[in-house]
A = this chain, B = another copy of it.
Amino acid sequence: MQRPLSKEEQEWVERTLEAMSLRELIGQTMQDHAGRLPFKGDDEAALRGYLAQYPVGSFFIGGEVIQKAAGKAEDYRDWTVMLQRISKVPLLFSGDLEFGAGSAVKSLTAFPPLLALAAADDEALAYEYGKYTAMEGRAAGFTWALAPGTDLLLNWMNPVITTRCLGDDAGRAARLSAAVMRGMQDYGIAACAKHFPGDGVDYRDQHIITTINSLSEEEWFSTYGHVAQTIIDQGVMSYMTGHIALPWIDGGDAAAKPVPATVSERITTELLRERMGFDGVVLSDALDMGGFLAWGDYEKRIIDCFNCGTDVLLWPGVRYFAVMEQAVADGRVSRERLTASVRRILEMKARLGVQFTSTAGEDGMALPLLDDKLPPKLDRQVRQLSRELAGRCITVVRNRTGQLPLNPQTVRRVLVIMLNKVTEGRKYERMNLFVEQLKARGLQVDILDEFEPLTTLRQWEQSGISWDAAFAPYFLPLHGMMNTARPVGEAAKAIWAMQHAETIKPIGISFASPYLLQDIPFLDTLVNAYSLHEDTVELTVKALFGEIPFQGNSPVHADSQDDYHGSRGLQKT
């Protein structure tokens, strides 16, 4: 549970609460998106007018992890200082700091993703992962990380949380997510566990439709419930609900449509708040996601979301104020319910110390930035952590024929079969990092990266070319809205071609889904590297050639025989 507030903190909360108008109360319960303001973000006069009309309680800043990091740390910090100066009640600034502050801010440090952290499986490392995220993050103006992920990758087909979670084992995920959370919160940033009641069971994407966690009550408590209870008991300050239904507790009108947690009182209040004892802030997932839109019209969605027990609604847009004012006026939303949420939000603000923001807007608890980074010694420590994790996550899933490590003396010419293309029109350039690393070793590299790979491989083989090793690197961007994590389109064609090549035995390397064997079961050799993180790619190549050991342990059952029966998705007939 969270630490009790001090007497001074408690007094600040009550004093602030008493001074608020209805509109200001409502404002605390929404989180705005800094990237969606209807004017240039650095226009101070416009911002003053905006906040006077829409006194929101928090802003989301930085890039979205599902898209990409963006911007400079100093710019974000300066913006937050200006906003604090303007705002009557101190604001919180949240970001998608899932894999280091660099996953939201381009100039900060990006860590390998959570699944890599799970492959290293070291609680001390996980604590530092959270700690350095917080130190960099708060220096750049963030006070609220929408992290860590507490989801479990129970369905290998899940297209959303692929490498954004801590694997499929609830014990490991509980231990590591709680450590990341403690690291964050010990260093000045509120963590937000996500998602409740847990993503990773459905084969679909809550960005697209409402998804379903179909576990039974017993199964849920021994998996997602265990992770949630652990991180709650250790004091996580906030929890994000997902657009995910949990039929064992809220079946709704099952024939019509599932009830996502973001509108379910049974899930959010009865289960999370009452049964599990969560006393922090409940933040909804983004309200423009497909999983929420289907619930009803805007007004119904918003009011159901608030009334089910949500404290803060993520990105409802400023229409929210009028809808909520009307709903309070006509009794659809109770003032007590509103005050209870705002009190929880202010308590979180007090715990983060934002009440001590100077009148100039300065955050006395933030580390300074030098050249857009932390001071040199700390900066080195953060970068070092990133590299250490990169080295420790790389996992040999299969090495059946003892092909690894490769002999650098005899391997001179290699074939790279690119599994990073969906169609002729769309491929993922970052795979070039891998090819560059091979070339930097002086290797002769042939690249198979085209529309008719079978024909080309045949021609190459018939012309007498042979290779000392062949690599089949796979990449699909982290949640690229593909609705799948599997190799599709041209990548699948290349899998066909890989088997034709009688002169080669391809080494699979997944820089994305850890479940590549589901679609390429014939691989004798597979390495999982979890991301195209720069250090990871460099160290993967070193490990392939035996210069460093492979140290990761697979955080999912990536090579279970049970997985190859081919009947996934088989209908009951």
8 additional contacts (CB under 8 A) given A208-B495, A212-B566:
A155-B567, A203-B569, A204-B566, A208-B519, A214-B567, A290-B499, A483-B519, A562-B571
Q: Which residues of chain A from 436 to 489 have a CB within 8 Å of any chain B CB?
A: 454, 481-484, 486-489
Which of B203, B294, B492, B495 meets A566, CB within 8 Å?
B203
Chain A, residues 248-277, CB within 8 Å of chain B (1/0): the string is 000000110110000000000000000000
Chain A interface mostly: loop
Most chain B CB within a 10 A radius of its CB, from A156, A484, A492, A560: A492
Binds B, one of A55-63, A230-238, A417-425: A417-425
Does A14 sit at the interface, judged by CB under 8 A? no
Does A205 sit at the interface, judged by CB under 8 A? yes
B519 touches A493 (CB 8 A): no
Known: A208-B495, A500-B293, A571-B168. A486 touches B484 (CB 8 A): yes
B425 touches A214 (CB 8 A): no
User: Closest Cβ of chain B: how far from A19's Cβ, in Å?
Assistant: 36
Cβ-closest chain B residue relative to A519:
B204
- Which residues of chain B come closer than 8 Å to A424, judged between CB atoms? 425-426
A157 touches B569 (CB 8 A): yes
Cβ-closest chain B residue relative to A493:
B481
Does A43 sit at the interface, judged by CB under 8 A? no
User: Closest Cβ of chain B: how far from A508's Cβ, in Å?
Assistant: 13
A257 touches B521 (CB 8 A): yes
Does A362 sit at the interface, judged by CB under 8 A? no
Does A15 sit at the interface, judged by CB under 8 A? no
A567 touches B202 (CB 8 A): yes
Instruction: List chain A positions with a Cβ less than 8 A from chain B.
Output: 154-157, 168, 201-205, 207-214, 223, 247, 254-255, 257-258, 288-290, 293-294, 297-298, 422-426, 454, 481-484, 486-489, 491-493, 495-497, 499-500, 502, 519-522, 557, 560-573
- Which residues of chain B come closer than 8 Å to A210, judged between CB atoms? 522
A212 touches B565 (CB 8 A): yes
Distance of A276 Cα from B547 Cα, bound (Å):
58
B568 touches A156 (CB 8 A): no
Cβ-closest chain B residue relative to A223:
B573
Which of B209, B247, B495, B521 meets A521, CB within 8 Å?
B209
Distance of A31 Cα from B500 Cα, bound (Å):
20
Q: Could you give 7 example pairs across A and B, Cβ below 8 Å?
A: A208-B495, A208-B496, A424-B425, A483-B488, A488-B488, A563-B571, A568-B568
A214 touches B155 (CB 8 A): no
Which of B288, B454, B483, B569 meets A487, CB within 8 Å?
B483
